Structure formats: C-alpha cells, structure tokens
Amino acid sequence: DVKVTQSSRYLVKRTGEKVFLECVQDMDHENMFWYRQDPGLGLRLIYFSYDVKMKEKGDIPEGYSVSREKKERFSLILESASTNQTSMYLCASSPPSHRVPQYYGYTFGSGTRLTVV
C-alpha cells in the first residue's frame, strides 16, 4: 500500500521555536508538496519540489523553508514559530509530469496539526 507518512499527528510548540515537519513517501514520486489548511479556506501551497534539491515557493512561503536532500523526504521548517502558524499541515506527492504535476492524482499524508503557543 503506497504511502505518504508525516512524522507527527499532533505537535505543540512554543513561539520562537524552530520546528521541523517531516514527510516521507515510498512511491518514488518526483513531486512533493507542503500545504496548510485553515478553517473556511482551501488548501494553500507553501512550497513544492519537483526533484531532489529543487524547491519552488508556493502562495504563502513567508516564515517557512524546505529541504529535499533525498527523493523520498521533504521537510518543512518553521524558522521561528509564531501563533499565526497554528494550522493543519498536509504533505502530498505525485508522479512526474514534470511541470504539470496536476495531471496525476496526489497522495496525501494524514496531516500534522500544529499548535504554537
């Protein structure tokens, strides 16, 4: 059964902490994505990567960075957590159609609910 695994289901961090959210996929997918989901809003893209060591900013990259050192792992980093980063974070991957990843269905992780206090 193919999988996208996110390291934590729930996470509570303090303001100012550096936070790492890990995502691992076992499908050999090139494309990986980080989204956040807030009530009443659609999923918003933070960053995506279409190859190892490649990264592209999404719609809301401020306050975040990413790392893709290996194909199967895509990490989201909150450099200095703030309360407005309290959210549900979803990781996804998809097979390559190079720069048009949306021709294939995405496989999602089950999400990390992050609370920053």
Partner 1 sequence: ILNVEQSPQSLHVQEGDSTNFTCSFPSSNFYALHWYRWETAKSPEALFVMTLNGDEKKKGRISATLNTKEGYSYLYIKGSQPEDSATYLCGVGSNYQLIWGAGTKLIIKP
Binding site for partner 1 (CB under 8 A): 4, 33, 35, 40-45, 48, 56, 58, 90, 99-111
Instruction: Give the span between the Cα atoms of 107 and 97, in whole angstroms.
Output: 15
CB of 40 to partner 1, least distance (A): 6
- Residue placing its CB nearer to partner 1 in the complex, 22 or 108: 108
Closest CB 83 distance from partner 1, rounded Å = 22
Distance between CA atoms of residues 109 and 69, nearest Å: 19
Positive or negative, the CA dihedral 56, 60, 63, 64 is negative
Nearer to partner 1, 4 or 81 (CB): 4
Q: Which of 64/106 has CB closer to partner 1?
A: 106
Q: How far is the CB of 95 from partner 1 (least distance, A)?
A: 11
Q: Are strands 31-37 and 44-49 parallel, antiparallel or unpaired?
A: antiparallel
Closest to partner 1 by CB, 12 vs 16, is: 12
Give least dist CB 89 to partner 1, A.
13
